[in-house]
Amino acid sequence: MRKMSPVSDSVLQKVLTFILQPIPPGGSRFRQEWEARCRALPPETPDVLMETLSRGTPSEQEAAIVTLRYHNYEVIETGERTDRRYILRKAGAKEWEVIRPMLQLD
């Protein structure tokens, strides 16, 4: 199992608050602002997002996928709703990591 590096409570709160916000439609001015805020998140953001894929709700998991892609991660979803898996790696890395969410809804 992957070990999450220590993340301060303020970083954790900042990232979790960000992914709870709706993601605006692509091509809109609001999306451009969202993308800028996304890229400005702290360097520890991917650690928080990977933990969210493991322990978050399905809607938090979806937001984490999109946000990870803006932080240079390749993310692939596999499986059905009750057997979902996320396969991911930092762009350019050779090894893939597989995360199976703890919370999966029918």
Mean pLDDT for each 10-residue chunk of the chain (106 residues)? Answer: 70 96 94 96 96 92 96 94 91 96 73
List pLDDT tens digits, range 69-95.
999 999 999 998 788 999 999 999 999
Q: Which sequence spans correspond to the domains of the chain?
A: 9-99
Residue 6 confidence (pLDDT):
79
Residue 28 confidence (pLDDT):
93
Residues 6+ apart with CB under 8 A from 102: 54, 55
Residue 85 confidence (pLDDT):
95
Residue 47 confidence (pLDDT):
95
9-19 and 45-55 helices, crossing angle to 10°: 60
Distance CA(28)–CA(14), nearest Å, equals 23
Residue 5 confidence (pLDDT):
64
Pairing of β 97-99 and β 85-90: antiparallel
pTM of the complete model:
0.88
For the chain, what's the residue count? 106
Residue 7 confidence (pLDDT):
86
